Amino acid sequence: MGMFSRSMPVTASVADKPIHCLVCGGSEFWDREIKLNTTGMELFDMAWANKSALGLVCASCGYVHEFVGDAVQMWETQ
Ligand SMILES: [Zn+2]
C-alpha cells in the first residue's frame, strides 16, 4: 500500500471554482484522508473532532490544503 489512494493526481474545485495551490498555484493534487482526532485536536471539544478532513497535497510543491466537510469536488486528471 502506498501513501496515497490514487496513482494519478486530481484536480479539485469548490462551488465550481477550481482550487489552486496557495503556494505555487498548481492545480493538481494528491488526495488523502487526514484524521482529526489527533492529540492536538483533543484540546478542542468540537463536533467534528473525531471526523476526518480531506487533505489535498499539491503535486508540484507538496503544500497540504485541509478541508472539513464535503464541499470539495475532485476529478481524476487522466
Ligand atoms: Zn504547490
Domain-by-domain residue ranges, the chain?
10-70
> pTM (2 decimals)?
0.75
pLDDT at 60: 97
Residues facing residue 33 across a β-bridge: 54
Q: How far is the CA of 21 from the centre of ligand 1 (A)?
A: 5
Q: How far is the CA of 47 from the centre of ligand 1 (A)?
A: 30
DSSP of 25-69, one letter per residue?
----EEEEEEES-STGGGGS--TTTTSEEEEEEETTT-PEEEE-S
Judge contact between 55 and 38, C-beta under 8 A: no
pLDDT at 70: 86
The pLDDT tens digits for 3-55 are 556 788 999 999 999 999 999 999 999 999 888 765 555 555 555 556 788 99
Q: How far is the CA of 26 from the centre of ligand 1 (A)?
A: 5
